[in-house]
Amino acid sequence: MRVISILLVDDHAMIRKLLRRHLELQSDFIVVGEAGNGREGIAKAEDLRPDVILMDVSMPGMDGIEATRIICERLPQIKVLILTLYASSENCIRAMQSGASGYVLKDSVDEEIETAVRAIMKGSHYFGMGATDAAGRLFPAPSGRPPCPGLPDISEC
Amino acid sequence: MAEKKVPQTDGAKLRRIAEERLRGNIENEPRLPYEQQRLFHELQVHQIELEMQNDELHQSRADLETVLGKYTDLYEFASVGYVTLDRKGIIHTINLTGASLLGADRFHLNRSRFERLVVETARPGFAAYLEGVFSNQGAKTYELELLKAGVLSIEAVLTDSGRECRIALLDSSERKEAEALRRVAEAATGALLKVEVAAAEALLKIEETLLAPQNVNAEIKIALLKLEKSAKVARLKVKTAAEVAAACFGANETTEATQNLAKAAEAARLKLEKVAEVAQQKVLTAAQVAFRKLTILESERARVKSVLLESEERFRLLVDGVKDYAIFMLDVDGCVISWNEGAKRLKGWDEQEILGRHFSLFYTEDAVAAGHPGQELEIAASVGRHEEEGWRVCKDGSRFMATVLITPIRNEFGSLKGFSKITRDITERKQAEETLKRYAQLLIEQEENLRKSIARELHDDVGQELTALGLNLAYIDKFLLAEAGIDLRPTLKDSRMLAKDINRTVRNLMNALRPCQLDEYGLAPAIRTYVEQYAQRTGLAVTVHAPSDFPRMCPQKEIALFRVTQEALNNVVKHAAATTVAIILASNDVPSIRLSITDDGKGLAPWVSPPPTGSGHGLTTMRERAELVGGKFRLDTAPGKGTSIVIDLSAGQ
């Protein structure tokens, strides 16, 4: 069984703590590190080279979208799953444009996180409940990474 | 007479007739010796011849007397007067016609000097003429003016004796008739002239009196037109009559024709005089009517003038009494021609020093350089008024913000006479408005900041805590399920669902308070996000068109446009009964941007546009929101035609 290494990037320590506890209930998941903002997340990603990064969007300093873009550019093998409170196509699209592989709303994280992590590890895109309506219209069928090339211009949506 | 003399000269025939008559008496002859018998016979023949000649002589005399009577009548009653003068001009004989022509009886004329009958000025000429006649220079016609007879044509011939001359006096009735006709013609021409002069004078007078002022009422104009028509008709009639008369004079050839022509001329003259009289009467009547109306009009004018003077006085008192407004008048060139107390107070110029000066004095140098004062007058003159707000300059050079109303003044005929200008110092009001605007903007910013703060707290605290709560509940669900027993499972499940619901509510609340996209990504993404939720909530088909390079603006402008969009979309769902909405964001190189929100709903009634305060459609709020950030708000709507809200805004800071 291959263990999936996970980096948590969220400015809320409590969330990181509970997510860690929640993820590590899965025997094949291991949280290899935590970061409180985007910049720190990039550094930890370069340092730890996790399989998956669970990335919050709204963070002080560098936000999750920008951090995702940089990470995906520098470390394309790392898959980034966005965790956010914002359920909008706009956020979802920007996240996907930055190179993220999935998009999960935080209010569904307890139910969807394991599925999402496993899905993106298989190379699929994952859009959680509440984000699927909009993002699903843009990416109707999962395709292989990277998601960035060929994405439609958001201005036309 | 010549035939009667034949028997006298024909002695043989006379003797033969005498002897035949004697032969009838021969039986009574006494028997005498032959010589005595022959002598007696000869005596008897001579007696008979003498008797016969005596009878013939009587007959001849009777015939001669008859002829003489006829010739005398011919002489006396000839159509030409005859008078015989000697070298001294003494009248020796004159026929009745001549006496009649000379206007005296023949008894007094005989042996009198013909010269006394001639007008004094013509006497030397007549004397020369007479002398010429006696010098045997032949007969010639001479026009002589006599005291009683007027001008006569005379023709003198010298008698055989050379001691007298015979003068024929030609009483030319043709001449008289021609003269009469000439007089008629003159009368006709005079009458024509008189009528024309009278008509022209009447018209001129009436035109001068009535037509000069443009306000002659319609009735007078109609009267005048009638008058002109009457005069024209009269002139035409007179002309026709004169032409008839002229034709008659031209055809004057014979006496009978002359008489007819004279009659025709007289008739023409009478007709002409009548026409002239009628025309004059018409002119007079029309003029009287016109003058009566003019009098009434003038009386009314005087009354109106009086009322106007009173009104003017009241108006002057009113204008002078106004202290908060500068009220003054300009002539057509823009020079000040009146000045009130308010103007003095506002601008600092005394009436005496400002009258006659150009009103561009009140404008800033830039405005004068740009020709703004003249443009204002042009606009006012062309569209009927011009109103604006702008800086104005006082006498001391200080400036004030003014609201200005310029109105053209025209006379009763529409000619531009000048302008009235009302200026009010609105500096304080403007400052108050600016302050109010600043406060309003501040209030909005504070509100937005508060919203942002609450949204942030919701996101950073409540949202995260709810997320944590969800994770905790999931954890409990996983590990405490066996010990908690079956009774706790539904409650735990409800709690997890509740946490999700609260999280969703918080998320919506966050978006409603302040969409995070607005700050993070700008107006277009924020609108798209909002529209997405709006479409889900309302079921309306909303499209958003925005270029990929749509510029970012300052937060105040972005939030203002976002709020306007929110308000417009709320209106659509509340009032428009629309099925589709199109939101277009466009930008250009200026850079300026345009936001339009257009629906296909039922539109607004005209009284809602422009938006009244409190119309219930939030239009005023939208307008204010746009204007606070320097935008121009426009509403295009009509019942059944949908509604379009357009805002143009500079994209700069």
Would you list the DSSP string of B366-384?
A: HHHHTTHHHHHHHHHHHHS
Q: Which of A18, A62, A83, A105 to mutate to test the interface with B (most CBs of B within 10 A)?
A: A18
The confidence band for A149, taking pLDDT boundaries of 50, 70 and 90, is very low
- For B611, residues 6+ apart whose C-beta sits below 8 A from its C-beta are B617, B619, B620, B622, B623, B635
Q: Are A86 and B516 a contacting pair at CB < 8 A?
A: yes
Judge whether residue B93 has pLDDT over 80: yes
CB-CB neighbors (< 8 A) of B455 in chain A: none
Give the separation between CA B454 and CA B473, rounded to whole angstroms: 26
Chain mean position to CA B653: 61
pLDDT (mean) for B609-629: 71
Query: What does the domain layout of chain A look like in residue ranges?
Result: 4-138
- Multiple choice CATH, A4-138, 3.40.50.720, 3.40.718.10, 3.40.50.2300, 3.40.50.10480: 3.40.50.2300
Q: Which of A9, A62, A88, A138 to mutate to test the interface with B (most CBs of B within 10 A)?
A: A88
- Note whether A24 contacts B: Cβ–Cβ < 8 A: no
Give the separation between CA B239 and CA B347, rounded to whole angstroms: 72
CB-CB neighbors (< 8 A) of B466 in chain A: 107
Q: For residue B548, give Cα distances in angstroms to B362, B522, B587.
A: 50, 12, 11
In this prediction, residue B278 carries a pLDDT of 66
In this prediction, residue B206 carries a pLDDT of 56
In this prediction, residue A28 carries a pLDDT of 93
Chain mean position to CA B174: 55
pLDDT (mean) for B279-303: 73
Instruction: Output DSSP code: residue B90.
Output: B
Q: How far is B539 from chain A (nearest CA, A)?
A: 14
The confidence band for B607, taking pLDDT boundaries of 50, 70 and 90, is low
Give the separation between CA B252 and CA B186, rounded to whole angstroms: 16
Judge whether residue B173 has pLDDT over 60: no
Please provide the DSSP assignment of B518-549 as one string.
HHHT-HHHHHHHHHHHHHHHH--EEEEE--TT
In this prediction, residue B199 carries a pLDDT of 59
Q: How far is A117 from chain B (nearest CA, A)?
A: 16
Q: Are B466 and A107 a contacting pair at CB < 8 A?
A: yes
What percent of chain A clears pLDDT 90, i.e. is strictly above it? 58
pLDDT (mean) for B511-523: 82
Name the residue of chain B whose CA is nearest to A11's CA: B460
Give the separation between CA B548 and CA B45, rounded to whole angstroms: 179
pLDDT (mean) for B320-342: 87
- Note whether A147 contacts B: Cβ–Cβ < 8 A: no
Q: How far is A121 from chain B (nearest CA, A)?
A: 22
Cβ contact A80:A99 at 8 Å:
yes
Give the separation between CA A155 and CA B544, rounded to whole angstroms: 9
Give the separation between CA B523 and CA B651, rounded to whole angstroms: 12
Largest interatomic CA distance in chain A: 44
Q: Which of B460, B462, B464 to mutate to test the interface with A (most CBs of A within 10 A)?
A: B464
Nearest in space to B426 (alpha carbons), one of B405, B404, B402 = B402
Task: Give the residue numbers in B contacting A (CB under 8 Å), as ranges.
Answer: 459-460, 463-468, 470-475, 478, 496, 499-500, 503-504, 506-507, 510-511, 516-517, 520-521, 524-526, 528-529, 532-533, 536, 546-548, 550
Query: Which tens digits make up the pLDDT trace of A42-57?
Result: 999 999 999 999 999 9
Cβ contact A127:A102 at 8 Å:
yes
- Note whether A94 contacts B: Cβ–Cβ < 8 A: yes
Q: Please provide the average confidence, as pLDDT, over all residues in chain B.
A: 78
Q: Are B471 and A108 a contacting pair at CB < 8 A?
A: no
Whole-angstrom distance between the N-terminal and C-terminal Cα of chain B? Answer: 153
Q: How far is A58 from chain B (nearest CA, A)?
A: 9
Q: What's at A130, amino acid-wise?
A: G
Asked if the ipTM is above 0.90, the reply is no
Entry field: residues in chain A = 157
Residues 44-63 of A with CB under 8 A from B: 58, 63
Angle at A86 (CA atoms; ends A99, B498), nearest 5 degrees:
130
Q: Report the residue from B471, B506, B529 with minimal CB separation from A110.
A: B471
- Classify the phi-psi angles of B418: left when phi > 0, otherwise alpha if psi is within -120 to 50, otherwise beta: left
Entry field: residues in chain B = 653
Q: Are strands B643-650 and B632-637 parallel, antiparallel or unpaired?
A: antiparallel
Q: Are A85 and B533 a contacting pair at CB < 8 A?
A: no
Q: Which of B452, B457, B467, B534 to mutate to test the interface with A (most CBs of A within 10 A)?
A: B467
Q: Are strands B150-158 and A102-105 parallel, antiparallel or unpaired?
A: unpaired
In this prediction, residue B522 carries a pLDDT of 87
B392 phi and psi, to 5 degrees? -130, 160
User: What would the two tokens of residue B579 be?
Assistant: 């099925």
Nearest in space to B221 (alpha carbons), one of B235, B236, B211 = B211
Cβ contact A7:A32 at 8 Å:
yes
